[in-house]
Amino acid sequence: MDAIQVYIIVRSRDAVRCQEISRRTERQIMLLTCKIRHSYDFDDELAKAKQVAQFAIDNRVQSTKHIKHIGLKSVIANQILRKYSRNRKAKIARRVKLTLPQQGIKQDGTIVRIPSLGVDFDTWKSLGEIKQVEADSQFFYVTYRVDVPPLTKPTAWIGIDVNATKHIAVAALPTGKVIKLGKQAPHIHQKYKAIRKRLQSKGKYGAVKKIKNRESRIIKDINHKISRKLVNVAQQTGCGLRLERLTGIRKNTKKYHKRGNHKLNSWSFYQLQQFIGYKAELSGVAVEYIDASYTSQRCSRCASLGERVNKSFECPSCGHVDHADVNAAFNIGQSLGERDSSEGSTDTPQTATALALSADRRTSLL
């Protein structure tokens, strides 16, 4: 089973922050996990769970008869034994969660009861069939089933450039419209980078980490909004979403440093793609990944190799001038190979002077 982990932030009325982790199982259903903060004290149970897990790793047995003395509720112990006895790589049990199977959970509207732990909590929204609940010292992780709608056959593709220099993403619609999203991201990055530098020079490393986490949360929130917006636009226009394939992105971030003047970490682009991927799937929107080569170097009108001068792209062949990211987004949408040279970014400007004007006109910011 390919496990793809995706995090969503859901804000409920009570500002309880949920997080969802999607685990793709089959085509038709998706398992999402919602993360809900709790204030229960599970220290005792978690310590026992760790002992059970360590026993499972050391002895590779699944029977509960040898671990009765530990005193963990058998419904939970069973799950942990099964999980850790199968894990051939684990040597030491770390971060063991209390795991409740479906039969150990009672669902009553948005209220989830766990009789074996004597606790209950509110999920704040109706989640459908809950398959599993895990708990650690801070959160409940509620895994529930979501039915995936059939894929809508796209009439055309929206090209998305996710290494945009000034925005997180630039989307080019088949109509020639351009949507620029996440303009604030570089400023956020610069701001937190400066704060981190200051703290680092004072040797406040704990604070540095805290600031880093805060930045990650903000970027994640922006990525959620951008992915939602893109999927909504695709759904409304009957289009699919087409992105560059970001393989090996974690290892090689050079490209982004070369192209971008804001050096947002590659994980944020990777995260955005993950968000787009699963949200699209939940909305029946098609997503396609294309080879990244030449999307930033070729003209979106005539496919000739052009030149990138600062933020703009200039084609020596047809004289086409455009914002470099916009040109890249149109190339992605047209997927180069299948493009017809008479099509393309129809409302993009002809000259450099027209560029600034029309960039404002065509831009809708998040």
Which residue of 59, 175, 317, 364 would you call a contact of Zn ion, by CB under 5 A? 317
Where does this chain touch Zn ion (CB under 5 A) — which range of 175-183, 259-267, 320-328, 352-360? 320-328
Measured CA distances, 181 to 223, 236, 239, 364 (Å): 9, 18, 18, 8
User: What 8-state DSSP symbol labels residue 10?
Assistant: E
DSSP assigned state of 148: P
Question: Is 209:254 a contact under the CB 8 Å cutoff?
Answer: no
Q: Which residues pair with 10 in a beta bridge?
A: 18
In the three-class reduction of DSSP (H, G, I as helix; E, B as strand; rest coil), residue 49 is classed as helix
Nearer to Zn ion, 8 or 172 (CB): 172
* Smaller CB separation from Zn ion, 63 or 317: 317
Q: Cβ 137 to Zn ion, closest distance in Å? A: 59
User: Pick from 81, 98, 178, 299: which binds Zn ion (CB under 5 A)?
Assistant: 299
| Residue pair 33/143 in contact by the 8 Å Cβ criterion | yes
Q: How far apart are CA 283 and CA 230, in angstroms?
A: 11
Compare residues 73 and 339 and give the one whose CB is closer to Zn ion: 339
Select from 98-106, 165-173, 174-182, 302-310 the region that touches Zn ion (CB under 5 A): 302-310
Nearest Cα residue to 279 out of 233, 244, 330, 316: 233
Of 223 and 300, CB closest to Zn ion: 300
Rounded least distance, CB 341 to Zn ion, Å: 9
Shortest Å, Cβ 151 to Zn ion: 34
Identify which range of 6-14, 21-29, 178-186, 296-304 contacts Zn ion by CB under 5 A. Answer: 296-304
Compare residues 75 and 315 and give the one whose CB is closer to Zn ion: 315
For 266-324, the three-class secondary structure string (H helix, E strand, C coil) is HHHHHHHHHHHHHHHHHHCCCEEEECCCCCCCECCCCCCECEEECCEEECCCCCCEEEH
Query: Quick check: 318 binds Zn ion (CB under 5 A)?
Result: yes
Task: For the CB of residue 335, give the shortest distance to Zn ion in the complex, in Å.
Answer: 17
Q: Which is nearer to Zn ion, 48 or 301 (by Cβ)?
A: 301
Binding of residue 326 to Zn ion (CB under 5 A)? no
Shortest CB 201 distance to Zn ion, Å: 48
Residue 324 Cα distances to 243, 309, 330, 363, angstroms: 16, 8, 10, 14
Cα–Cα distance between 249 and 207 in angstroms, integer? 28
Which of the ranges 81-89, 103-111, 156-164, 291-299 carries the binding residues for Zn ion, by CB under 5 A?
291-299
Question: Of 304, 338, 366, whose CA–CA distance to 167 is shortest?
Answer: 366
Verify binding: residue 302, Zn ion, rule CB under 5 A: yes
| Chain position carrying tokens 């930045």 | 215
Kindly tell me which residue out of 189, 224, 301, 323 binds Zn ion, with binding defined by CB under 5 A.
301
CB of 299 to Zn ion, least distance (A): 3
Minimum separation from the CB atom of position 258 to Zn ion (A): 22
Using CB under 5 A as the binding rule, whether residue 315 contacts Zn ion is answered as yes
- Count of residues engaged in binding Zn ion, rule: CB under 5 A: 8
Total residue count of the chain as it appears in this document: 366
Nearer to Zn ion, 110 or 350 (CB): 350
Q: Using an 8 Å Cβ cutoff, are 91 and 57 in contact?
A: yes
Interface residues toward Zn ion, by CB under 5 A? 299, 301-302, 304, 315, 317-318, 320
